[in-house]
Structure 1
Amino acid sequence: MSTTLTGTNFLRALYAANLLWHTSAFYHFSFRAPYMMTKLSKRSSSKSPAIASTPEGDEWHHDVMAYLGLINVGFAALAGMRLYSSVFAPSSLSSPLTALSEADILALMVLGIANGSQAWGNFVRTSGNGRWIMGSGWDRITVLDAVFMILDFAVMGAHLWNS
């Protein structure tokens, strides 16, 4: 498993997956806020008629969703820059089975913390409150945030362990 985690292609795939994940969050939360509110929240089943009548939320909700989406731009850019660097300037990426560059360690730590903070929020903040689908089962957002956190830290840890 360590050989897989320390391979250049696996690192590139992880950067590409992080890039797609954070770009998707940017797009969906920033430009499709009403749709995402309807999809992710349980507003339509609220006992409050005022809340149930607006399952897509209101402009205030959309502003917060757009803010959440915009936060993901930096993480997408970080993953994209490291991916670009590993493909078009491979000398900046350590060879397989050797320690990662300092830039890769920093990038994986930042991406791991970004994904981990979302997973933690899903498991702790939204789990059991009945307002969101996140954290209450095997929803896509909670699972992928947790999986990317684990992979980001696992790759970083495997490289540090081998160095």
Structure 2
Amino acid sequence: MKTNLITREGFEKLQKEHDYLWNERRPEVTKIVTWAASLGDRSENADYQYNKRLLRQIDRRVRYLRKRLPDLKVIDYAAAQDGKVFFGAWVEIENEEGEIKHFRIVGPDEIYGDEVKHYISIDSPMARALLKKEVEDEVVVRTPEGNKEWFVNKISYQSSNQYKTD
């Protein structure tokens, strides 16, 4: 079962997606479907078939968002979180081989898309292992290959993608 937590940025992004799909994208596609249907034989009309399928995908996503958004709980930063890893934290960890990873712990609805490749779900084994840890703490994460050890280097709660790199 997915956790219902989400950052404010994530919630606003999903709300924006819903509004765009419902108020802009769906009316555009509906016009194309109506136009294509007016041409006659729909069985061999690629415009009609493609856009009808696109309309179904839009409707499916809008239904999902309308069901999901009211269930989500927005978690804002609180000063009491400083110094420990909690939901919304940017974390830098390092293993004994010197491999360094940077990521933000967010809700499962926020980890999809290109711009969020440095996000991990609060439901992931890594995030669960890191919760309540402090800088210089050792973290053991269970993986299919066995236990992996990591050390916490940095913790921050800035909302911007401060670690956005490639």
Structures share a fold, TM > 0.5? no
Name which one, 1 or 2, has greater alpha-carbon Rg.
2
Which bracket does the TM-score occupy, shorter chain normalised?
0.3 to 0.5
TM-score by length of 1: 0.39
Larger helix proportion of the pair:
1
TM-score by length of 2: 0.38
